[in-house]
Amino acid sequence: MIKFLDLHKINNRFNDKFKDAFSKSLEDSRFILGNNVSKFENEFAAYCGTKYCVGTANGLDALTLILKGYVQLGELKKGDKVIVPANTFIATILSVLHADLVPVLVEPNPETYNLSTVEVRDNLNDEVKAIIMVHLYGQLADVEGLKQLANEYNLILIEDAAQAHGAIANSKNQKQNSKAQTQNTNCDGSISTSTSTSCSFRAGNLSHAAAFSFYPSKNLGALGDGGAITTNDSELFETVNLLRNYGSKVKYKNEIIGYNSRLDDMQAAFLSIKLKSLDKDNQRRREIAKAYLDGINNSKLKMPIYNGSQNHVFYAFVVEVNDREGFTKFLNLNNIEWLIHYPIPPHKQQALKAFLHFSLPLTEKIHKRIISLPISPVMTNKEVQTVIDVLNTY
């Protein structure tokens, strides 16, 4: 059986270091917002190229607290509209609802599955105050196009980077959106007013603020749940720091109405260990994706678009097929595990029945056709070739 994602094999590589980290944490006994959390926050901010990182309990909370933070700061208010992809995981939309904002579901680009800048522009009006761009399946959204729209219409731009840890946008003049003034972000995450920069920008440093998930299946996955916010905005940083911890800087002194959403100290220790291997693991995922793209030659499968750059970290390798039920039976017979990201579009979920009337034909078509193939940094070349050979016989 070729596993879709062998988490035991992925994490077993770090087994000794995990045990050592556990022993040190047990000895230290600072289990809530201890040294491991601050250490990982500093490391992950430096990795993404941002000035700040705030660890949260999970990815949904990270995205929700960003929006709540902007409400607390007066940048957003109850009832403001936020553009989100219609074909995202439901958490993106839930975060908007949890913040008492109104999601506007927008159709994707059919080639990349990410937000269509054309569709976003068509849905803009005076009530829209923010855009959440999801880097779906590990591929960066149209960052430049969406930044341009955000600047033009004075919108807050947020990344849902839950699937894109380490993805890199390579271009010049990657401007850091600021509602206050035009600024650029230097390669080290510091802010300057220079009119041009020339360096690589990672997911997490491509917008006003970004949310990450460290769910175990992610490219950077914990051994439980976890999340983080990255930003260069000092006011937002201070606000979400308060929000995640009961609205408190000093114990028993509560400045604002907050929540309990803190990255677990033990998970932070594990994430620090795994962060060192993230770029190598992402590169292995790209190698497998390229092997699939070069080796699979079957007109019944629509393959993903990939330009060979580092803008994709292949959290998932997603193909489209007309007869998905027949295809999954074929994979099962050939001992190849698979997954569907995601079988039901959000607006068709019972939880979001208020959105059932939305006309989103492309989103519905995609959700009926997509299926994810095995891809992980611990797959062997033999397993990759087996997948290729089997799919060429479908």
DSSP for 38-68, written as a single string: HHHHHHHHHHHT-SEEEEESSHHHHHHHHHH
Q: So where are the chain's domains? A: 7-275, 278-391
pTM attached to this predicted model: 0.92
CA of residue 235 relative to chain centroid, distance: 23
Pairing relationship of beta strands 156-160 and 191-192 according to DSSP bridges: unpaired
Residues 6+ apart with CB under 8 A from 349: 90
Is CATH 3.40.50.10140 the classification given to domain 7-275?
Answer: no
DSSP for 237-266, written as a single string: HHHHHHHTBTTEEETTEE-S---B---BHH
CA gap 321, 331 in Å, rounded: 13
Give the length of the chain. 394
pLDDT tens sequence across 246-298: 999 999 999 999 999 999 999 999 999 999 999 999 999 999 999 999 999 99
CA gap 228, 369 in Å, rounded: 32
**Cβ contact 5:376 at 8 Å:** yes
What is residue 338's predicted lDDT score, i.e. its pLDDT? 98
Which residue do the tokens 């089997």 mark?
390
Residues of the chain by 3-state class (helix, strand, coil), percent to 5: 40, 20, 40
pLDDT tens sequence across 79-132: 999 999 999 999 999 999 999 999 999 999 999 999 999 999 999 999 999 999
Same topology, domains 7-275 and 278-391? Answer is: no
pLDDT tens sequence across 36-61: 999 999 999 999 999 999 999 999 99
CA gap 86, 109 in Å, rounded: 11
What is residue 193's predicted lDDT score, i.e. its pLDDT? 36
CATH topology of domain 278-391: Aspartate Aminotransferase, domain 1 (3.90.1150)
pLDDT tens sequence across 185-242: 444 433 333 333 334 699 999 999 999 999 999 999 999 999 999 999 999 999 999 9
pLDDT tens sequence across 132-184: 999 999 999 999 999 999 999 999 999 999 999 999 997 433 333 333 333 34
CA gap 172, 386 in Å, rounded: 40
What is residue 200's predicted lDDT score, i.e. its pLDDT? 65
